[in-house]
């Protein structure tokens, strides 16, 4: 009964790990050189600097060792509690890339048809891909967390700067962020039929709430309306956007995002069950969402071109400027509709 509920399959796990493990190793290396190496070198660098001060006291007449040590502790505290450096890019793009490899590439190469002819159910295929996807993106963080904790055991001096608890909190927070963004990525993996469309749509909708609010705000300002409504909306509901998981943990509604991520995983599985393998290689898996896709692209393009065309209206919205903005809306809508339609049609022709 347990195996039916959680159908781990060694063959599928090995296959999916084989084609994605390179990403895990690359991310682990990037994370090591951009964060971990600096953290575990803190005490050594601290000692070297103190020797430098002792050797050349005339250069550091106002040096305060306690203040310097405190600044290093605060810097590490920031590294463990906030996303800094290259870390946000890893958290955003590694889930999107691994989902694209496991789903988009399989669809592009039309290998799902081969899997469907083997003794694997769709539930097995989806489940094992989701497991490997999460393992792939969380493993680099686990490896680097382990290195930082081991370093504490080797160098007692490091314990003055950070603790194992800080490392565990850092790992837990990023594991949570990766889970939320992966569930979001898997939803679009089940909605799209090509690697390119999957990556593009996942990223667009990831930043869409903030980007769309910005477009609406710009267009409202063109017509002379107050923008307080947009600001109030973002202040109230901004924390519930997927993008908000990149914020500090004390500002994130964690329970909401976990429940939302689970709901997205369930939706992803249900959509994957209804994927038609013969549509693999097309922009979208479901013909019923094509009109919505076209309207979405056309609407956003319309708002964008309205702003762009307003720059040519010499700021006089009440005279000829208004006609230029309206023209921008029309041009943007038509161009956006054409691009979306062309994307669907050109990929359908290749299917």
Radius of gyration of the chain from its Cα atoms, rounded to whole angstroms: 25
CA 112 to chain centre: 25
Tokens of 326: 């309206």
Cα four-point dihedral sign 204, 207, 208, 212 = negative
- Determine the distance from the C-alpha atom of residue 338 to the mean position of all C-alpha atoms in its chain, rounded to a whole number: 28
Q: What angle do CA 136, 142, 145 make, to 5 degrees?
A: 150
Model confidence pLDDT, tens digit, residues 129-183: 999 999 999 999 999 999 999 999 998 899 999 999 999 999 999 999 999 999 9
Q: pLDDT band at 347, cuts 50/70/90?
A: low
Q: Measuring CA to CA, which residue among 306, 337, 338, 336 is closest to residue 324? A: 306
Q: What is the mean pLDDT of residues 33-55?
A: 90
Q: Which pLDDT belongs to residue 2?
A: 42
Residue, of 57 and 267, whose pLDDT is higher? 267
For residue 26, give every residue at least 6 positions away whose Cβ sits within 8 Å of its Cβ, in sequence order, or none: none
Q: State pTM to two decimals.
A: 0.84
Task: Indicate the pLDDT class of residue 4, thresholds 50, 70 and 90.
Answer: low
- The better pLDDT of the pair 159, 230 is held by 159
How far apart (Å, rounded) are the C-alpha atoms in residues 33 and 31? Answer: 6
What would the pLDDT profile of 56-72 be if each residue is shown by its tens digit?
888 888 888 889 889 99
SS3 assignment, position 168:
helix
The rounded distance, in Å, linking the Cα atoms of 87 and 34 is 8
Q: 206 pLDDT exceeds 90?
A: no
User: Are residues 222 and 307 in contact, defined by beta-carbon separation less than 8 angstroms?
Assistant: yes
- Give the pLDDT score at 32: 96
Residues 232 and 319 sit within 8 Å (Cβ to Cβ): no
């Amino acid at each position: 009964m347990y195996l039916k509920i959680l159908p781990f399959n060694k063959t599928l796990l090995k296959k999916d790990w084989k084609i994605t493990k390179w990403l895990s190793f690359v991310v682990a290396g990037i994370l090591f050189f951009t964060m971990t190496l600096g953290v575990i070198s803190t005490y050594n660098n601290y000692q070297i600097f103190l020797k430098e001060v002792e050797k050349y006291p005339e250069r550091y007449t106002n040096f305060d060792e306690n203040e310097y040590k405190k600044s290093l502790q605060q810097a590490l505290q920031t590294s463990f509690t906030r996303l800094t450096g290259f870390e946000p890019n890893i958290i955003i793009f590694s889930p999107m890339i691994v989902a694209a490899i496991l789903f988009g590439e399989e669809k592009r190469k039309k290998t799902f048809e081969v899997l469907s002819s083997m003794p694997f159910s769709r539930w097995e295929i989806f489940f094992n891909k989701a497991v490997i996807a999460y393992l792939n993106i969380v493993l680099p963080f686990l490896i680097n967390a382990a290195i930082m904790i081991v370093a504490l055991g080797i160098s007692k001096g490091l314990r003055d700067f950070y603790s194992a608890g800080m490392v565990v909190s850092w790992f837990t927070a990023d594991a949570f962020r990766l889970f939320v963004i992966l569930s979001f990525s898997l939803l679009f993996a089940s909605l799209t039929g090509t690697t390119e469309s999957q990556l593009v749509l996942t990223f667009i909708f990831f930043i869409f709430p903030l980007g769309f609010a910005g477009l609406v705000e710009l267009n409202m300002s063109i017509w002379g309306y107050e923008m307080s409504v947009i600001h109030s909306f973002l202040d109230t509901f901004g924390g519930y956007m997927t993008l908000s998981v990149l914020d500090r943990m004390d500002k994130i509604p964690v329970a909401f995002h976990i429940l939302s991520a689970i709901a997205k995983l369930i939706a992803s599985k249900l959509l994957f069950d209804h994927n038609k393998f013969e549509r693999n290689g097309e922009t979208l898996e479901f013909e019923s969402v094509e009109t919505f896709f076209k309207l979405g692209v056309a609407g956003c393009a319309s708002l964008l071109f309205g702003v762009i065309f307003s720059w040519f209206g010499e700021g006089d919205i009440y005279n000829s400027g208004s006609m230029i903005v309206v023209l921008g809306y029309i041009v943007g809508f038509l161009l956006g509709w054409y691009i979306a339609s062309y994307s669907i049609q050109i990929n359908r022709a290749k299917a």
